[in-house]
Amino acid sequence: MIIAPISIAGLWASNHITNTDGFVETLGPLANNQGLQDLVAEQVTTSISGKLQIEDNIMAVTGDGLLSQLLPADELANKADEVIQSSTLRIVQSESFAATWQSTLRTSHQTTDRIFNEQGTADLDQAGKLSFRFDDVFAGVTKSLGALGIAGLPAIGNFSWSLDLVQEDALPTIQKVYLLIQSVGPWAIYINGALLLAGVTLAPRYLSKACLWLTATTGLSYIALKTLVPDYIQERLLSHFTRELSRDIFDQVSHGLATGLLVTAIVSAILGVASLPLVRSWSRSQSTHGIAAQQ
């Protein structure tokens, strides 16, 4: 019963973390997350502004004379950044971005799976971290911004941006966990179920206790998943995001696992309570047969 939450988590992870389709389905809705959209708009605006060097170009035109006082370069650059960010945000909130987000998730997961399963450190060390590339997304952003009248944007082939999923120092550990999930994740729940069934078959009087223990372990795991684990994940894996966004990401990823733990706890509690009369009746019957056999 103690390892039941682990086996449930293993089955969930094999379907939603190591499986490409499940991974895309799990993280796909994040494209509509306001916090993520704001982050993308803010960082791509910074990238575009850096590429365009807006303030330097304005200063080159105005110089240090009277014109520079009438047209302050920093104020004009800030206005340009506001225009770029608002335009970028509209694009990031569009359906086309959501579709590109999903295709990028799929490509990135396939790349990550290949690197992890090669079990080497060359690609891992070379990249420094595993990132989800958004070159195509922001090529579309710059194209759309150009159509809106913001001229001088970088060429599609010269502009890229990436979103780091996890911190660099966590990648070796994540690789080991990933490979472990691939190896035993799909089977752990069945092994655990077989052990439970064997135990109940050999000792039926412990059926109620087994169900109630299952309720306790999965219930406590659910509570930990909702209270303690998010802070740990934010600190160890997602500290490069804001606390609110990292919590949204964690909740999106772990929603299926939380549901599985909660449903298991509820069902096992019902079975445990419902089986109490049967277990007591069986125990009395066994005691009666034992006394009769002794006589």
pLDDT digit string, tens, across residues 158-184? 556 666 777 777 778 888 888 899 988
Helix (H, G, I), strand (E, B) or coil at 2: coil
Burial 28-64 (b: 16+ CB within 10 A, else e): bebbebebbbebbbebbbebbbeebebbeebbeebee
Q: pTM for the complete prediction?
A: 0.76
Cβ atoms of 91 and 140 closer than 8 Å? yes
Any residues with CB less than 8 A from the CB of 123 and at least 6 apart, and which? 115
Tell me, what's the pLDDT at 196?
A: 74
Reading the block at residue 76, the tokens are 């004009």
Give the chain's residues under pLDDT 70: 1-2, 52-74, 76-77, 119-163, 200, 203-204, 279-295
Strands 131-133 and 162-164: antiparallel
Tell me, what's the pLDDT at 5?
A: 86
Tell me, what's the pLDDT at 128?
A: 36
Rounded to 10°, the helix 4-16/207-227 angle is 50
CA distance 210 to 2: 10
Total Cβ atoms within 10 A of residue 187? 13
